[in-house]
Structure 1
Amino acid sequence: MTRRIDTHQHIVPPFYAQWLERKGLTAGGLPIPRWSAEAALEMMEALHIAAGVLSVSTPGVHLGDDAEARSMARAVNEFSAQVAAEHPGRFGFFATLTLPDVEGAIAEAAYALDNLKADGVVLLTNVRGTYLGDASMEPLMEELNRRQAVVFVHPSELPAPPVPGIPPFAADFLLDTTRAAINMAKAGWLARYPDLKIILSHAGGFVPYAAERFARLCAPSGRYEDGVLQLQRFWFDTALSSSPYALAALLAFADPGRITFGSDWPYAPQERSAHFARLFEQYGFDAKQREAIERGNALRLFPRFG
C-alpha cells in the first residue's frame, strides 16, 4: 500500500527553526516542530506514502529584509535539495522564494529549478497583506509560466488580529487561501498563465463550498459559470480535508484529476495526519478516483516519482 505521493508535506531545517524561534515566531499559532528525515520516513511508512514533496510553511523567509530573505531562501533550498539527493525517489521539494522581493524571487526560482532540480515553488497566500494576484508579482508569474512550473500555495496569517482563543491555523488559514484564490482568479492569472499548475492547500479553503457566491468576481464577463470555470483551473490537495463533508464538497466542485493527497506533517502531528488518512481510506471513492488522488495525479505533475 506504500504508494501515495504526498504533495503537502513540510520540511523544517534545524537552522530555520532556530532562526524563527530567535525571532519569537510561530507558524500561524503552531509551535515550530522538530524535523528529521528519519521521522518523516517513519510517518510515511505508517501512512503508506511512497514519496513526499517537501515545502517550508508560513511564515516563509521574508520577514522584512530582502537580503536576509535571499540568504535564508538559498539555505533552506540547498538543505531541501540535499535531503532529496540523499533519499532518491522518496523526497522532492518546492523551492522557497522571497516575495514580496520579486527580483530575488525570480533569481531564486531560476537557481532552484535549474541547479537544485526543485519540483516547483511554494508561495504564501499573502505576505504582510499583499496577496497573490497583486500586479507587483506579474514578472515572477510570467517566468514561472514560461517554465510550466508547479506552484504550491500555502496559507499564511490573515493581515488582521486573530480572534482570542482561535489560533490562525484553525480557521483563518482557510479564509486566507480563499482570499488568494479569488484574487488570483480576479486578476486573470488562471487565464493569463495557463501553463502553471497551481495547487491550493487544504482543499482550497472555502473555495469548493462557496465558489458560486464569489464566482462573478472571478470572471471578466461577470457570469457565474465563467467564474466557476476559472476557479476549477486550480489544483487542490486533501491535507486535513478528507472528512466526508469536506471531500463531498471538493468532489462536487473540482475535477478529480486535479486533486492530490496531502498529510501536512509535521505541523500536523502524526496522529492528526493519520486521522485524516483513515477518513480518506473510508471515503467512498471509486477505484479510478482513489488511484488518481493517491498517486496518479501527482505523477502527472512529478513524473520522476514513477
Structure 2
Amino acid sequence: MAGGWIDVHHHAYHPPLVAELRRRGVTHMAPGVPLPEWTVADSLRVMDAGGVQAAVLSILLPDAAYGRGAASLVRLANEWTAGTVRDHPGRFGALAVLPLPDVEASLAEIGHALDVLGMDGVVLPASLGDGRYLGDPAFAEVFDELDRRRAVVFVHPNPNYRCSCAGGPGFAAAVPPPLVDFVMDTTRAVANLIFGGTVGRCPGVRFVLAHAGGTVPYLAWRLELASTWVLPDARADVAGAVRAFYYETAQAASPATLACLREVTGRENILFGTDYPFMKDEVVTATLRHLRDVPDVDFTGNALALFPRLAARLGRLGTGAADAARL
C-alpha cells in the first residue's frame, strides 16, 4: 500500500473519452499539449513510486467538446471516473465535470454526480469558451446549489484559454498559453468571483485553486486595495476570501511560492497536487521532494478534512483519516 500523500490535482482521461474527443476533431488540450495517453495503471504506478496513497481524479474538457451532446458526454465522463473510484476505493476520489454554460443541465449533473455517483465535488474551468468567467450572474443558480451542498469546487484554467493581452502575433508559439496565460485565467476567475459577489454570497462553497491560485497570492494586497481606487464601491472582503481559498501545489511547490502562500492563507489550506499526467513522473518526484521539506503543513490531513467521502472510504478499508494523516 502506498504512503499517506493525497494528490488533489490528478487528471483522468479514460481511453473511451479520448477516442470520443478525437472523433469530434479534438486532438490537443491546448497548444503544445496533446490529448494524454492515460490509464488507471499509469496513475497507480506513479502513485506507488512516490508514496501517494490516493488521488482525486478530475477531467477538463476542451471548449470544442461543448457542442451538441455536451451534457451526454459529460455524463459519460463522470460515470467513467466514478467507476474508477468504485474499482479502486482506497486509491481514488473523483470530481465531476459540469456541462456549463448549460445551467439546467449542470444542475442535473450536480445532483447525479454527488447523490447517485457519490463523487467528492466538482471541477470547473476558470473561464468558458464564450469569454465569461465563473462569477457571471448567469451561473448564480449553479453556485447557489453548490453552496447549499457545501461542495468542493476545484477551479482549473480553461485548457483553451489564451489571453490576447499577453503578446502580439506569434507570442503563443514562443510562449505557449500553459506557461503564462493559464495562471492568469485562474487569477481573473478569482477576481471575478470575489468582486462579482459569488464568494460572499456562497460561503459554503470550498474553492480549491489550481497551481497555488495562479498569481492570486502574489497579488493579494493589490486586490485588497481595489476599493481605494478603481472599485470605490467594492464591499468584498478580499483578504477573508483569499485566506479561505484552498491552494494546491501543482507546478507551485517551490519554497518561494510556499512562502507567499503562508502570508495569505493558513497552513491547513495548502494541499498537495501534481497535475499528472500532464506533469510527468520526474515533476511528480520533484514536487514531493520540495514538500517533504515542509514540516508544518499536514498535506494529507488537510485533504482528508476537505474530502470526507474519500476519508470515509479509506476508513472502511482500515486506514482511517487519523492514521492516514500520520503516514
- 1:275 paired with 2:286, answer yes
Q: Give how far 1:244 is off.
A: 1.2
Please give the alpha-carbon distance, in whole angstroms, between the structure 1 residues aligned to 2:163 and 2:180.
13
Q: 1:46 aligns with which of 42, 46, 49?
A: 49
Q: In structure 2, the residue corresponding to 1:245 is in which secondary structure?
A: helix
Q: Deviations over 1:192-245 (max 9, x none)?
A: 111110100000000001111122448886489x42222222111111110111
Partner of 2:149: 147
| 1:278-297 alignment, distance < 5 Å | 278-282=289-293, 285-286=294-295, 289-290=296-297, 292=298, 294-297=299-302
* Aligned length in residues: 297
Is the Cα–Cα contact under 8 Å of residues 26 and 65 in structure 2 kept in the other structure?
no
Q: 1:134 aligns with which of 133, 136, 140?
A: 136
Q: Deviations over 1:228-268 (max 9, x none)?
A: 22222211111111011111111121111111110110011
- 1:243 paired with 2:244, answer no
Q: Give how far 1:87 is off.
A: 0.5
Q: 1:301 aligns with which of 293, 297, 306?
A: 306
Q: Identify unmatched segments of 5+ residues in structure 2.
A: 165-170, 312-320, 322-327
Please give the alpha-carbon distance, in whole angstroms, between the structure 1 residues aligned to 2:65 and 2:26.
12
Q: Give how far 1:52 is off.
A: 0.6
Q: In structure 2, the residue corresponding to 1:6 is in which secondary structure?
A: strand
Partner of 2:325: none
Q: Which has the larger radius of gyration?
A: 2
Q: Give how far 1:107 is off.
A: 0.5
Give the root-mean-square deviation of aligned CA atoms.
Answer: 2.0
Is the Cα–Cα contact under 8 Å of residues 10 and 274 in structure 2 kept in the other structure?
yes
Please give the alpha-carbon distance, in whole angstroms, between the structure 1 residues aligned to 2:97 and 2:40.
18
Percent of aligned pairs with the same amino acid: 38
Please give the alpha-carbon distance, in whole angstroms, between the structure 2 residues aligned to 1:40 and 1:163.
30
Partner of 2:202: 193
Please give the alpha-carbon distance, in whole angstroms, between the structure 1 residues aligned to 2:76 and 2:172.
34
Please give the alpha-carbon distance, in whole angstroms, between the structure 2 residues aligned to 1:33 and 1:168.
17
Please give the alpha-carbon distance, in whole angstroms, between the structure 2 residues aligned to 1:160 and 1:252.
28
Please give the alpha-carbon distance, in whole angstroms, between the structure 2 residues aligned to 1:103 and 1:136.
11
Partner of 1:74: 75
Please give the alpha-carbon distance, in whole angstroms, between the structure 1 residues aligned to 2:45 and 2:232.
48
Matched residue type, 2:255 = P
TM-score, with length taken from structure 2: 0.85
Q: In structure 1, the residue corresponding to 2:188 is in which secondary structure?
A: helix
Partner of 1:166: 175
User: Against the structure 1 CA distance between its residues 248 and 5, is the aligned structure 2 distance closer, same or farther, given a 3 Å change threshold?
Assistant: same
Please give the alpha-carbon distance, in whole angstroms, between the structure 1 residues aligned to 2:241 and 2:153.
16
Matched residue type, 1:103 = E
Is the Cα–Cα contact under 8 Å of residues 240 and 273 in structure 1 kept in the other structure?
no
User: Against the structure 1 CA distance between its residues 2 and 136, is the aligned structure 2 distance closer, same or farther, given a 3 Å change threshold?
Assistant: same
